[in-house]
């Protein structure tokens, strides 16, 4: 059974970090309901849900993708680029240790956010962003290249994280909203899509993706390519530069 690491939103969610967006009102109660429905998508498809210990004092703690990256049966614990988020790490480490997955950790002076890491096949695209530095990328490379992964650095200046601008479909095609992608030519197969919130997809299985409900034209485009598209309303998280990928980390069954 595939398993999913998640953490419920903090009541302080509205105070989360922002880099590229202006702050607007966030409804914590609505965010909780949206998160519950998001988790139910996986639960309804047979995924086991592993809840990380709540971190209510951490506004951005719900964005667990930034804290750990899983490579088959190995994990890398990240060191947040925003110092305000480093308090999320201990509970995530405890959850990874409880899962039995061996791991390495990014150490000072390296910084690495999981939202800057996109895996396509055995290629690991890593965003050189305001949250992920050269030392963090070097540490990641030294941890995963011996395990058969090829790390490719990608410039990220227009969005918070690499995966704020691009993700990948099940066939490996990288998708993104071109005004927010520094250099689409860096990806062997790139598909420009018509809506900003359509850039983030989670591959549920080889024929199914999960994406935001706020990108209907993009959903139609994916369906025209033969994919089943499941949508989720994540508007309160999108206000904080989050998306469907940020809210979970998949573990091997």
Which residue bears the tokens 């309901």? Answer: 33
Active site residues: 161, 246
Contacts of 43 (CB under 8 A, 6+ apart): 49
Q: What share of the chain is helix, strand, coil (3-state, %, to 5)?
A: 35, 25, 40
Distance CA(212)–CA(189), nearest Å, equals 22
Task: Determine contact, residues 30/4, Cβ cutoff 8 Å.
Answer: no
Inter-CA distances, 137 with 92, 100, 151, 236, 245, Å: 20, 25, 8, 30, 20
């Amino acid at each position: 059974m595939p398993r999913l690491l998640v953490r419920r939103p903090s009541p302080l969610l509205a105070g989360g970090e922002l880099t590229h967006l202006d702050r607007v009102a966030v409804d914590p109660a609505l965010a909780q309901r949206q998160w519950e429905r998001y988790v139910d998508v996986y639960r309804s498809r047979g995924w086991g849900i592993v809840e990380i210990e709540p971190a209510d004092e951490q506004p951005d703690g719900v964005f667990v993708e930034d804290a750990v990256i899983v490579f088959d049966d190995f994990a890398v614990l990240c060191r947040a680029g925003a110092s305000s988020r480093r308090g999320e790490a201990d509970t995530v480490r405890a959850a990874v240790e409880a899962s039995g997955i061996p791991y390495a950790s990014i150490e000072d002076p390296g910084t690495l956010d999981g939202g800057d890491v996109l895996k396509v096949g055995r290629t690991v695209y890593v965003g050189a962003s305001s949250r992920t530095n050269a030392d963090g990328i070097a540490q990641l490379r030294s941890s995963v290249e011996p395990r058969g992964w090829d790390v490719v650095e990608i410039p990220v200046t227009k969005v918070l994280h690499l995966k704020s601008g691009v993700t990948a479909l099940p066939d490996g095609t990288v998708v993104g909203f071109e005004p927010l992608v520094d250099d689409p030519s860096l990806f062997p197969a790139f598909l420009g899509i018509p809506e900003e919130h359509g850039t983030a997809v989670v591959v549920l299985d080889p024929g199914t993706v999960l994406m935001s409900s706020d990108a209907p034209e993009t959903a139609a485009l994916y369906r025209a390519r033969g994919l089943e598209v499941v949508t989720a309303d994540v508007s309160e998280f999108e206000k904080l530069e989050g998306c469907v990928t940020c809210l979970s980390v998949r573990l091997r069954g």
